[in-house]
Amino acid sequence: MGGSGKTAPSIAAGSLLSGRYRLGAELSHGGMGTVYRATDEHTGATVAVKVPLPHLAGDAGYRERLRREAQLAAALTSPRVVRVVDLAEHDDVPFMVMEFVSGETLDARLRRTGPLPVADAVRIMREVARALQSAHVLGIVHRDLKPQNVMLVDGQVKVLDFGIARAEGMAGITVAGAFVGTPAYSAPERATGGGDIRADIYSAGVW
């Protein structure tokens, strides 16, 4: 699915999106987009805003993926899943507003401290399993569960990034048979685009 050919406007720290969300410091940057800390100027609340990279802003596939991520995350009311607050556009650039969580990813913790004590590992994985259960009872499969998508926040555990998740019965937006995910944490059946809730369980087990 190609882009529209339009050049996306520059969006960076300091930008005011949709007259409401003032972007602050960059929190993370990946192959799909950038997440900023931001202030909701209507309420004063601190939020996180996900903005696509310029070349993806007009891409129909990316826009559908972002819409679906917001839709699926909004359906999840678990305190162990980062909440979606809003989905909007600014000068034809879609962006998603999420609950702001300040903490450390499990991946960063492991790199900083090495293997966790057994008690800590069991506690974290129990919370991840509960987050997955909340998704799975709704027929939602995460499809990219990995330590980088688990945030440790003041003793709590939150699962991030349902960007490639799929709900049962929901049409995919990738080419049939195409692989989407992170190979090191993916169940074998994911290589051909398959996988149900058991694939998420596999991903959690290989950490």
Looking at 40, 59, 144, 200, which residue is catalytic?
144
Three-state SS for the chain is CCCCCCCCCCCCCCCEECCCEEEEEEEEECCCEEEEEEEECCCCCEEEEEEECHHHCCCHHHHHHHHHHHHHHHHCCCCCECCEEEEEEECCEEEEEEECCCCEEHHHHHHHHCCCCHHHHHHHHHHHHHHHHHHHCCCEECCCCCHHHEEEECCEEEECCCCCCEECCCCCCCCCCCCCCCHHHCCHHHHHCCCCHHHHHHHHHCC
Active site residue 144: yes
Residues taking part in catalysis: 144
